[in-house]
Amino acid sequence: MAVWGAPSLADEERQALEHEYRYAKTRLVRQRSHILLLGTQLDSRSQVAKVVGCSPATVARTLQLYEQGGRIALRGPVRLRQPRTRRTLGWQKALALAMERGPRACGIDRPTWTAPLLEQYLGEQTGVAVGERSVRRGLESLGYVCRRSTWVLRHKAEEQPDYHPKGKGSR
């Protein structure tokens, strides 16, 4: 005897639910499919809830959900996420222009750009504050790589107050 309110399932529908019970990507779809399959085999909602490990109210909601929307409704509503990026088209164009012109043409006394310098410069130019990682992502999308700078000449490096020589054994 089936649970009151449980649908009678055709063989194709039962096979599809069994497939979703075994292979669905989310736990929620697997649980809902399991509830529907057990709903045709067990006698009460509380028995189904005990086997699945949920409340009888969850069983009732799942049966109602299936009755209203079929198997597709078991997946839940489609949620469209807003893009998390603050890198707008204007910001990306400003980044491309800064890379083409170089730091000296942009009023920064440096031979090359660094990610923190670009972060600061673009924040002032566009009003969009992003982090160093976002600058690196923007550069990557434009085909640039902004690596962390290293000193090539030791005597130039030693002139800098924040220079620390490499430790023994490092290359």
Q: What is the pLDDT of residues 81-107, one digit of tens each?
A: 666 667 788 899 999 999 999 999 999
**Domain match, 58 and 119 both:** no
- Quick one: 48 exposed, middle or buried, by C-beta within 10 A (0-12, 13-18, 19+)? buried
Range of the domain at 62: 11-75
Same domain, residue pair 102 and 47: no
Orientation of helix 45-52 relative to helix 56-69, angle to 10°: 100
44 closest CA partner among 1, 79, 96, 87? 1
Report yes or no on 165 lying in a domain.
no
Domain assignment of residue 5, yes or no: no
Helices (H), 53-149: 56-69, 89-101, 115-126, 132-142
Indicate whether 95 and 140 sit together in one domain.
yes
Position 122 in a domain: yes
CA-CA distance, 34 to 52, in Å (whole number)? 7
Instruction: Identify which of 125, 120, 124 has the alpha carbon closest to the alpha carbon of residue 135.
Output: 120
* Both structure tokens of 165: 């020589």
Look at residues 21, 50, 75 and tell me which one is the last residue of a structural domain: 75
The residues, any chain, with a CB within 8 Å of residue 52's CB and separated by 6 or more, are: 31, 34, 35, 38, 58, 59
Whether 97 and 63 map to the same domain: the answer is no
Residues 71 and 94 in one domain: no
In a domain, 125, yes or no: yes
The total domain count for the chain is: 2
Cβ distance 150 to 160 under 8 Å? no
Tell me if residue 146 falls in helix, strand or coil: coil
Q: Is the domain of 97 the same as that of 133? A: yes
Answer for the pair 118, 103: CB distance below 8 angstroms, yes or no: no
Sequential pLDDT tens for the chain (171 residues):
577 777 888 899 999 999 999 999 999 999 999 999 999 899 899 999 999 999 999 999 999 999 988 888 888 877 776 666 677 888 999 999 999 999 999 998 888 888 999 999 999 998 888 888 999 999 998 888 876 656 566 777 778 888 777 777 655
Spatial distance between the Cα atoms of 5 and 44, rounded to a whole number of angstroms: 10
Q: Do 34 and 66 contact (CB within 8 A), yes or no?
A: no
